[in-house]
Amino acid sequence: MRLFVALALPAAIKAQLALLSGGIPGARWVPPENYHLTLRFIGEVESWRAEEVDEALANIRAKPFALSLRGVGTFEKAGRISSLWVGVEKTEQLGFLQTKVETALQRIGLEPERKRFAPHVTLARTDRAAPEKLVAFVQAHNLFRLPPMAVEHFTLYSSRLGKEAAVYVPEVEYELA
């Protein structure tokens, strides 16, 4: 199983994000049903390990909180813009939850995440898009902002790579209380 831990987004937020899609030749836009905010990518695991992951995540205690999406930006790989994203206003509560997830997964023996946590929602893969089009898109949408949304749970997802896009399946939801 290929797993990751993420915050699911409400349908209304996904609809707002979908309005940003398009207008950049060569960009591969993420389908709105796949929008999420990754807390921790886990990767391929055996089924016994998936059960350990579930148990570890079920023991996390954190309070619900509000989260706001705002701004757009890009990530680069090897000097090329590889993805376009909507940013997330960093909050203490989001950092707390992400740290709890990371700690729980390390306790069961998973390797620590090497990348620094950079909360975002990926809109498009852009390795085949013209850099000037991407820069113009970011400049045109840098004031993008959505009203705060309530975060009341986090989710363990499985992921299967498909022909067009990956298929993400919510496996378990963990309530914040």
Q: Would you say residue 165 lies in a domain?
A: no
The CATH number linked to 41 is: 3.90.1140.10
| Catalytic status, residue 141 | no
Q: Would you say residue 139 lies in a domain?
A: yes
Which of the residues 37, 94, 120, 123 is marked catalytic? 120
Q: Would you say residue 66 lies in a domain?
A: yes
How many domains does the chain contain in total? 1
DSSP letter assigned to residue 145: B
The boundaries of the domain holding residue 135 are 2-159
The predicted pLDDT at position 25 comes to 96
Structure tokens at 54: 């579930």
Q: Would you say residue 174 lies in a domain?
A: no
pLDDT tens series, the chain, 177 aa:
899 999 999 999 999 999 999 999 999 999 999 999 999 999 999 999 999 999 999 999 999 999 999 999 999 999 899 999 999 998 999 999 999 999 999 999 999 999 999 999 999 999 999 999 999 999 999 999 999 999 999 999 999 988 777 899 999 999 999
| Catalytic status, residue 153 | no
Structure tokens at 156: 């363990």
Q: Would you say residue 60 lies in a domain?
A: yes
DSSP SS3 for 3: strand
Structure tokens at 68: 């706001």
Structure tokens at 113: 């995440």
Which of the residues 8, 13, 27, 36 is marked catalytic? 36
pTM: 0.94
Q: Would you say residue 98 lies in a domain?
A: yes
Q: Would you say residue 147 lies in a domain?
A: yes
Q: Would you say residue 104 lies in a domain?
A: yes
DSSP labels, 31-91: PGGG-EEEEEEEEE--HHHHHHHHHHHHT-----EEE-EEEEEEEEETTEEEEEEEEE---
Contact 83, 125 (CB under 8 A): yes
